[in-house]
Homo-oligomer: A and B are copies of this chain.
Amino acid sequence: MAAKSFYKGFTLGILGGGQLGRMLIQPCINLNVKTAVLDPDPEAPCNGVCTKFSTGSFKDYDTVMQFGQHADILTIEIEHVNVDALEALEKQGKTIYPQPSVIRLVQDKGLQKQFYKQNGIPTSDFVLVDTIGELQNHVHFLPAFQKTRTSGYDGRGVKGLFVPEDFNEALEGPSLLEKKVDYDKEIAVIVARNTTGETAVYPVVELVFHPEANLLNYLASPGAVSDTVAAKAKNIAVEIIEKLNMVGVLAVEMFVTPDEEVLVNEIAPRPHNSGHQTIEANITSQYEQHLRAILGLPLGATDSLYPSVMINLLGEQGYEGEAVYEGLDEALKIRGVYIHLYGKQITKPYRKMGHATITGKDWKSVHEKVKRIQDILKIIA
Q: Does A164 make an interface contact (CB < 8 A)? A: no
* A335 in contact with B305 (CB, 8 Å): no
- Interface segment out of the listed A66-74, A106-114, A179-187, A338-346: A338-346
* A336 in contact with B283 (CB, 8 Å): yes
Q: Does A31 make an interface contact (CB < 8 A)? A: yes
Within 1-59 of A, Cβ neighbours of B (below 8 Å) are at 2, 7-9, 22, 25-26, 29-32, 34, 48-49, 51
* A335 in contact with B283 (CB, 8 Å): yes
Q: Chain B nearest CB: distance from A269 CB in Å?
A: 22
Across the interface, which residues of B come within 8 angstroms of A342, CB to CB?
32
Question: Which of the residues B31, B328, B336, B339 comes within 8 Å of A301, measured between beta carbons?
Answer: B336
Chain B minimum-CB-distance residue to A338: B30
Q: Does A300 make an interface contact (CB < 8 A)? A: yes
Chain B minimum-CB-distance residue to A22: B29
Per-position binary interface string of chain A over residues 83-112, scored 1 when its CB falls under 8 Å from any chain B CB and 0 otherwise: 000000000000000000000000000000
Q: Does A259 make an interface contact (CB < 8 A)? A: no
A-side residues, CB < 8 A to B, are 2, 7-9, 22, 25-26, 29-32, 34, 48-49, 51, 283, 292, 297-298, 300-301, 305, 322-323, 325, 328-329, 332-333, 335-336, 338-343, 345
25 pairs across A/B with beta carbons < 8 Å? A2-B329, A7-B323, A8-B345, A22-B29, A25-B29, A26-B26, A26-B29, A29-B343, A30-B338, A30-B339, A30-B341, A31-B339, A32-B341, A32-B343, A34-B48, A48-B51, A283-B335, A283-B336, A292-B332, A297-B328, A297-B332, A298-B332, A300-B332, A301-B335, A305-B305
